[in-house]
Structure 1
């Protein structure tokens, strides 16, 4: 392990102390038995040793818990976070719930070494004492299972340094629990919690004998007793007038199921409109999460109930129990004494009893939206949300929806159609809603989503701009959604930051987390993206199957093939047809071509560009050049002419033609690509189209460079020099740097190209950056470095297949380079007289592309290596 540099001192030393306690360790032994428990604790000890080494901690003492010392507070926090997650993973693998309490404090301690004789008879090698030790112990004892509590000084130092933890540090959740009194500590102490989404309880700790909340004088027991005497008479009378209401254990970010609205007024216009309005009102909260109507209906189908089954008390409770939801809310609208009453009951799904109910009355049906606002505010308060939060995160329903109930009903019907993927019908309902209320901003957003679902983003731009102009008519969450979409269209470089902001403010907003994932996979941020998309990986997510498909892509990019296959299998079983294509990619990336071909035969999806790219890549990967050309020609005739997809489709054709031996035809295909792509860059239908076309054009220029053609490459560089905005957008900026490095290589300046590319590797470069770096090392005669890059290309075949770029258009060239690099390295080794090493590279090359299958230009190169030997 990594001991700290100083282990003894004559005076106090400032140190970070972490105390942990494994919850119910004795009970674990009783439940598991001695042998399984000993195996569990050995695995626990291996985790502790690994984390000590990673975070530079010193283990001072241990029994059921740990006492560790750290030089830096951020190291102590890193250990605590990893320890919490490590226990969760160990327990999950064994079907157990493993949790620990943890307390982190920074303070002065005295340390001294015990003598060797004392250590031999059982003493600890190092003793630690000082007030900081009981402070950390109080924090640990106070913590709930799985909770990490920090003192104010520890929170200040770790929060400031959290950026050192990378993306993970930005996603940490921090909560203050105010001032507490600790037994034996004279001054009250501020305490905080820090943790990760899905692991931290994020609930205030309970009072215990050695630690209790510091309450004002008027709230202390003696004062309260005096106050009680004054009100006891009133209290006794109130007991007979009001029935005590049972409570429900509801915490921040818990979930509710909203049942179907009971409409007892006979006014049909209220059926869908008020149900939708009530959901929108609840969803303004950052405290309460509402299970989507789509997810409720999905669970209803798994319960084998017919579509359209009423979600009443019993059905909603069963949905809640199946999906791990804390409470059920049942809304009702009725007419009482000539007034319209909106009411809502909170139901405990385990007992189906009403925990409490709230209602509000108004005159006429037009009053119902205001009544919903009042009821929602009262419910959120009863569920535990602070009044300040309710006031801050609430806007009147007529403002953020529509005061026109007919428009609201049309919008609600559109939502139901959209959930069934009936986009044409949904669009009709949304347009009718806008016609009834031209200021209905939420309906404009819905029309944007319809156009996006129809892959017609340009048609949605007008709706986006109208929604932005009406942003005062949107909830805070929907304003963030519109801002993120506006960035996508008008300022793509800012898009990721906008979605990350929304995902961090609303950790359980699954679409926001998914959009972060989609952008990160576009930008080759495979490690960060895997973390981001995990936040949406919940069965409460109505798009859970799509999340599994995206998760599978990230896992494939990280070469985690078995996990990727499992995720795609889940997605496919739940109807995501594109997952069938991903399974082909997973098998092909591992060289399991027989299984890939069988999987391809089972694919039953409509022809589209993504599908056909994979087929071209599969042929090239196996060295079937003519089949690749045939497939690429089919691909190039499929997309609608003049679209980004049509331009992207030309790239795999040029790759196939070049490797098939027809360089001139490949250059002609690139000319066609450049003509349309660069025209679109200069006059795009949208900025997102311009980004895609810029990537297509740069990809084509890189291929032209590979074929030794500089004129086409310079043409692209000159065109993009006139588009400074595009040059700042990832991943265009990274690919453009690769192209500039290619120019240096053509100028016979390999060292300059190497320097440029190595700088890129510090970020998230495209796959072709590595391929060009291999060429640069070869040109510089640096065979060992070239061999390292060839090995990297060959061992990252998952990334080669999954990299999106211009809608996967670069996939064929990436896949070719996983094998071609071996031949290039063998050529240089042979020229340097390193025959044995050259043969090793050739064997790897021949296993993928046997000599008999090679086109003439590759056969000549392959045979020439044998001649050197």
Structure 2
């Protein structure tokens, strides 16, 4: 009876988080610093452990050189491990020696019992913990490298899901999969993950040990490789190809499936997490499918405006599968049937939510559930290939944007596809349909903004932009930043490039952010920076990749890298049918007018903007009358709408009319462009969203420059008086620069060439506008400084790609830039005889 009284009482199995840590090279540490210093160090170490225990609600079970701790939740164990590893780094710096620990974190069922008071007094631990979870955590810890925290496939999704509880620190954590590993004494391989903080986590493949080793396929093991080499030597390359084992299906060739949440109908909720993870782990071994990650499912739920903890039932899991391109849904269930525990699974077609295959196994008692799961998943793995074939193939994922309505998302996806092919009318109708289905669909409203903006009809974009802005509170952070950037283009253009770059840097994998950062950097002549973002966005998975290649080509053309520009524009043309104007410009910039005229034949005759390049090409060839006729044709195609494009196209008409010898009418067109642009600016001044403000300001400055070249000072005087009233707008870099060019031209016309040069020289930053260099050449010519004027002339001649591709007011200065590039070539030739060679 006395023995029964003191026998420990073993609790029923409980799901707990176990963390094992080991202080690396502790024996060598003692030898290097001595016993006294070591005692002091470990006293500080013990204080650290106690503090972290209390902070993270952990229970210390055992300790020697390492620690065994138990936690209620995985996130607590992870928080302890992160703080422990980080603090050891700090202690290392202060002591001048390296202190590192390795850690293994696992979640599983454990048995616990309390030792008797007599046993504790005799040296036993107060609490004993046993179970398969303990050696699993130990295996993870033993294979970790110094400073490395490894997690099991059970612990990782639970910890990852709760990482937001760590605040900003949790968002910066680095997560890495190290593939499948085999643990001694365990029949199945295990997926191993690493987590850590930037600058601390090794993020290296763990080390093989006698109890844990990488699960390498048979055909990749050393002995097999030697045998294969022998076969090659004996039978030759051809025989080897016929006899080699069939390779595993490539990761990106396998179908994806979404695993719905386990339906536990037994009433024993303690089984939920363990059975669900066991089902997922076992299913992941299928060679037919890839299992959709828990983290990815949570991201999709956010875009569906569902709570992160939403149960993935048949309907919700099916919608996730449709949104993300998964082929099927697998719905596992555990229930009590006739006194037995039944584990079943259904394969579901996400399009119809119909079950196309089902399998089940029965067992006795809750303990049988794990065996039944193995049987069910084994049966599934054997039949998934045939079952999935019966499901309609629709593996293209839908755009990752926030909306509650799946049909609205489908309309949005079709709109994106149409927009990528410059089918603006169709795209606009589809974006409108998406907002009819879901009026809260902010990115569909922004899609309409993009279409109107791309068509130079920004005034029509104001209302959908207002609708989108009103929905900002409902958007996740990434989409909110995307919205902010678009709003800034209408409200404060001087900040827009910075906002796109912020979005691109914070979310480098978000392709719309990278693409727009590239476009706005390009408008500021920051071509190298634009190129980096455009190339990052021009990837196959981007439905707008063809558009991004157009931006890549523009950046290359702006840098006079013609072969690369040609290649990029051809890729864009192949994907979208667009970029013909740019191909024409690339050929013309190189003086290949025959090739340029072949592209003219591919231009749409009813596209008014196509006449910009056509007129510039005629200017480039000295065909002034033809250039004038082409520019007027482009203008006539816009007269019915009387919008921004009709104001833009006044300026090429002014330039070509001047070149054709009619200065009077040229000045009339320039004056009309300036007056209309300033009137439009004044009209929009009261609005918080000025649709065309930046473009009208650029147009008025361009008109002033053309008028000054014609000898008129009044138009420039009016522009210089009016534009400073728009202080916020004039902070935009290209507008601020053109304003200085107008002021410098005024000083030159007033006979103050020194002042003109003084104004222009600070603008030579490597991203200066073409007209800045043209104005500087003229200032040096008027000052009689032939050598400096020749330098500017040479620069203008060498930057013909920039002359064609530089963007302000819809390329409204393109014809003037091209004319100046040829004028500069003539000036350079004239000046060469006047300038004495260096040392002559």
TM-score, normalising length from structure 2?
0.55
Mapped partners of 2:135, 2:517: distance in 1: 56
1:586 aligned residue: 586
Q: Deviations over 1:410-461 (max 9, x none)?
A: 3443433443447667666665665676555455444444544665432332
Does 1:214 pair with 2:108?
no
CA contact (8 A) 1:358 1:375 kept: no
Mapping of 1:18-37 within 5 angstroms? none
Which range moves more in the overlay, 724-733 or 546-555? 724-733
User: Residue 625 of structure 2 aligns to a residue in which SS?
Assistant: helix
Q: Deviations over 1:722-765 (max 9, x none)?
A: 32233222211110110000000011011110111001113632
Q: 1:583 to 1:644 in 2, by over 3 A?
A: same
User: Residue 809 of structure 2 aligns to a residue in which SS?
Assistant: coil
1:231 aligned residue: 130
Does 1:507 pair with 2:508?
yes
1:691 aligned residue: 694
2:44 aligned residue: none
CA contact (8 A) 1:642 1:676 kept: no
CA contact (8 A) 1:701 1:712 kept: yes
Q: CA deviation at 1:370?
A: 4.5
Q: 1:448 to 1:231 in 2, by over 3 A?
A: farther
User: Residue 330 of structure 1 aligns to a residue in which SS?
Assistant: strand
Does 1:188 pair with 2:92?
yes
2:546 aligned residue: 545
- The structure 2 residue matched to 1:410, chosen from 402, 408, 411, is 408
Does 1:740 pair with 2:743?
yes
Does 1:621 pair with 2:620?
yes
Q: 1:319 to 1:444 in 2, by over 3 A?
A: farther
1:780 aligned residue: 783
CA contact (8 A) 1:774 1:789 kept: yes
CA contact (8 A) 2:416 2:544 kept: no
Q: CA deviation at 1:484?
A: 0.7
Q: CA deviation at 1:625?
A: 1.4
Q: Deviations over 1:582-606 (max 9, x none)?
A: 22211211112222223333x2446
CA contact (8 A) 1:413 1:429 kept: yes
- The structure 1 residue matched to 2:258, chosen from 322, 325, 330, is 330
Q: CA deviation at 1:649?
A: 0.7
User: Residue 609 of structure 2 aligns to a residue in which SS?
Assistant: helix
Q: Deviations over 1:501-526 (max 9, x none)?
A: 11111001111111111111111222
Q: 1:446 to 1:612 in 2, by over 3 A?
A: closer
Q: CA deviation at 1:480?
A: 0.6
User: Residue 489 of structure 2 aligns to a residue in which SS?
Assistant: helix
Q: 1:412 to 1:825 in 2, by over 3 A?
A: closer
Cα RMSD (Å) = 4.9
CA contact (8 A) 2:803 2:814 kept: yes
1:121 aligned residue: none
User: Residue 230 of structure 1 aligns to a residue in which SS?
Assistant: strand
Q: CA deviation at 1:247?
A: 12
CA contact (8 A) 1:401 1:474 kept: yes
Q: CA deviation at 1:466?
A: 2.9
Mapped partners of 2:292, 2:668: distance in 1: 73
Q: Deviations over 1:170-211 (max 9, x none)?
A: xxxxxx999879x9x996369xxxxxxxxxxxxxxxxxxx99
Q: CA deviation at 1:463?
A: 2.6
CA contact (8 A) 1:695 1:806 kept: yes
Q: 1:420 to 1:742 in 2, by over 3 A?
A: closer
Q: Deviations over 1:62-101 (max 9, x none)?
A: xxxxxxxxxxxxxxxxxxxxxxxxxxxxxxxxxxxxxxxx
Mapping of 1:792-803 within 5 angstroms? 792-803=795-806
Q: 1:253 to 1:468 in 2, by over 3 A?
A: farther
CA contact (8 A) 1:777 1:786 kept: yes
Q: CA deviation at 1:532?
A: 2.8
Mapped partners of 1:319, 1:473: distance in 2: 39
Structure 2: gaps of 5 or more residues: 1-80, 107-124, 138-151, 161-172, 178-247, 299-303, 321-400
- Tell which structure's C-alpha radius of gyration is larger: 2
Q: CA deviation at 1:327?
A: 9.2
1:646 aligned residue: 646
Q: Deviations over 1:243-289 (max 9, x none)?
A: x979999996999xxxxxxxxxxxxxxxxxxxxxxxxxxxxxxxxxx
Mapped partners of 1:350, 1:514: distance in 2: 38
Does 1:709 pair with 2:712?
yes
User: Residue 731 of structure 1 aligns to a residue in which SS?
Assistant: helix
CA contact (8 A) 2:653 2:669 kept: yes
Does 1:496 pair with 2:513?
no
Mapping of 1:431-442 within 5 angstroms? 439-442=440-443
Mapped partners of 1:345, 1:581: distance in 2: 53
Mapped partners of 1:496, 1:503: distance in 2: 11
Mapped partners of 2:618, 2:757: distance in 1: 32
1:666 aligned residue: 666
1:752 aligned residue: 755
Mapped partners of 2:678, 2:708: distance in 1: 17
Mapped partners of 1:338, 1:797: distance in 2: 76
CA contact (8 A) 1:744 1:752 kept: yes
